[in-house]
Structure 1
Amino acid sequence: MYPTWAAVAVAVTFVWLGMVLAISFLEAPLKFRAPGVTIPIGLGIGRLVFRALNLVEAALAVVIVAAVAVGEPPGRVVGPVAAAAVLLLAQLLVVRPRLNRRSDRVLSGEDLPRSRDHLYYVALEGAKVAALIALGIGLLTAG
C-alpha cells in the first residue's frame, strides 16, 4: 500500500509544480503582450501575483517537508525536497527583495536600464521546476 505521507507529498508537489509552470512560465511573460498593459501596470500585477504565488509556495513547501519528515523517504526524495526549499528561499530572501526595490523605482517614474535580476529569478525557477519534477518522480516510485 502506498504510504499516506508519500501520497500527500506527491499531490502537493505536483500542485506546486503546476502553479510555478502556469504563473512563471505562462502568465508572467504573456501579461506584457496584452493590449494596453504598460510596464508599470504589468509590474503592479506581477508583484501581486508573485507575492501570492510565493506565499502559497512557502505553505506547500512546509507541507512537503512535514510529510517527508514523518515518513520514511528514500534518499532520492530528500535531495530534491531540500533543493526545492533552498531554491525557494533564495528567490524569497535574495532575488525578490532586489526585484521589489527595482520595481519600486520604476513605479516611481525612474527610467532604469534593463536588469539581470529577472534572469536570476527565472534561472532559480527553472532549477526549482527540475527539483520538483525529480521530487515527484522520486515520490511516485517510493510506494
Structure 2
Amino acid sequence: MTHLPLALACIWLGMVVAISIEAPLKFRAPGITLPLGLGIGRLVFRALNASEIMLAAATAVTFALAPRPAAATVLLIALAVTLAVQVTALRPRLEARAATIIAGETPPKSSTHLVYIALEGVKVLMLVAFAVTLLTTG
C-alpha cells in the first residue's frame, strides 16, 4: 500500500502535464477555429478535472492507509485545495467565457485563464514534490 499513493500521484502528474501540452497545441491544428478549439477544450478539461478528483481521492485514501510524512501531508492538502479552486471557482468562469466566444460574442478581458494556468504550474510542482517526498521517505 505504501507505493500506491506514489503511483497515483505520478499518473495524476502525467495527465496534467499531457493536457497542459495538448491544450495550446490544438489551436495550431489545420481547420481548428477558436470556437471549435474552445469547445474541445471544455470537454477535455471537464474530463481531466473529473479524473483528477478521482485520483486525488484515491491518493488521499491510499495515503491515509500508509505511513504519512508531514511534508507529503501538507502537499496533498495543498493539491486538493488547488484542485478545488480550479474546479469550483475558475473553471465555471472559463466555461462561461468560452460559451460567450463560441456564441460569437466578445467577452470582457479577464485574467482567469492566466490564474488557471499558474495554478496548473503550481500543481505540477506540488505533484513532483509529493512524489519526491514519498520516494525519499518511503
TM range (shorter): over 0.9
Indicate the residue corresponding to 2:36 in structure 1: 41
Does residue 7 in structure 1 map to residue 3 in structure 2?
A: yes
Is the 1:73–1:142 contact (alpha carbons within 8 Å) kept by the matching residues of 2? Answer: no
Deviations 1:79-133 (A, max 9, x none): 1101111100010011001001111111111023543111010011011111101
Indicate the residue corresponding to 1:67 in structure 2: 62
Q: After the TM superposition, which residues 33-112 of structure 1 pair with which residues of structure 2 at under 5 Å, given as runs?
A: 33-112=28-107
SS in 1 for 2:3: helix
Aligned residues: 138
Query: What percentage of residue pairs aligned between the two structures are identical?
Result: 49
Is the 1:43–1:103 contact (alpha carbons within 8 Å) kept by the matching residues of 2? Answer: yes
Distance 2:109 2:16 in 1: 24
Distance 2:48 2:134 in 1: 23
Give the Å deviation of 1:58: 0.3
- Which runs of at least 4 in structure 1 moved beyond 4 Å after TM superposition? none
Q: After the TM superposition, which residues 121-140 of structure 1 pair with which residues of structure 2 at under 5 Å, given as runs?
A: 121-140=116-135
Between stretches 65-74 and 111-120, larger displacement belongs to 111-120
Aligned-residue RMSD, C-alpha:
1.1
* Residue identity opposite 2:132 in structure 1: I
Distance 1:18 1:114 in 2: 31
TM-score (norm 2): 0.95
Instruction: Extract unaligned runs of 5+ from structure 2.
Output: none
Between stretches 68-77 and 50-59, larger displacement belongs to 68-77
Give the Å deviation of 1:59: 0.2
